Amino acid sequence: MISQEEVKHIAKLARLGLSQKETEKFQKELSAVLDYFEKMKRADVSGVEALSQPFKIENVVREDKERAKDNDDLLDSAPDSKDNYIKVKSVFK
């Protein structure tokens, strides 16, 4: 079982102020967590392949294709254009 001094040290590292009752509570809880880790260490995983990601992730995007340049409709509908560009109001003065 983890000692109360170790719980207080962990609380100090986490910048937590614990009462005596909380220290006792976390002593039991942290001990249970550490015991579970010990149990997991004993598990036989020799036949299990290591995974970095449990699910196959694939980037699904559409293929980039060049589109026909049909700027004439856009330029015709713009209020003002010049040299195949749409003229807009100046942002900077």
Has residue 8 been placed in a domain? yes
Q: Which residues of 59-88 are buried (b: 16+ CB within 10 A; e: fewer)?
A: eeeeeeeeeeeeeeeeeeeeeeeeeeeeee
**Beta strands in the chain, from DSSP E residues, in sequence order:** 81-82, 85-86
| CA separation for the pair 6, 69 (Å, rounded) | 70
Which CATH number covers residue 21? 1.10.20.60
Has residue 85 been placed in a domain? no
Q: What is the mean pLDDT of the chain?
A: 87
- DSSP structural state of residue 81: E
Has residue 29 been placed in a domain? yes
pLDDT in tens, 47-69: 888 877 777 888 888 888 877 66
pTM to 2 decimals? 0.49
Has residue 48 been placed in a domain? no
Has residue 50 been placed in a domain? no
7 token code pair: 């719980």
State the residue range of the domain holding 34.
4-41
| CA separation for the pair 27, 9 (Å, rounded) | 12
- Percent of the chain topping pLDDT 70: 97
Has residue 21 been placed in a domain? yes
Domain count, the chain: 1
- DSSP structural state of residue 42: T
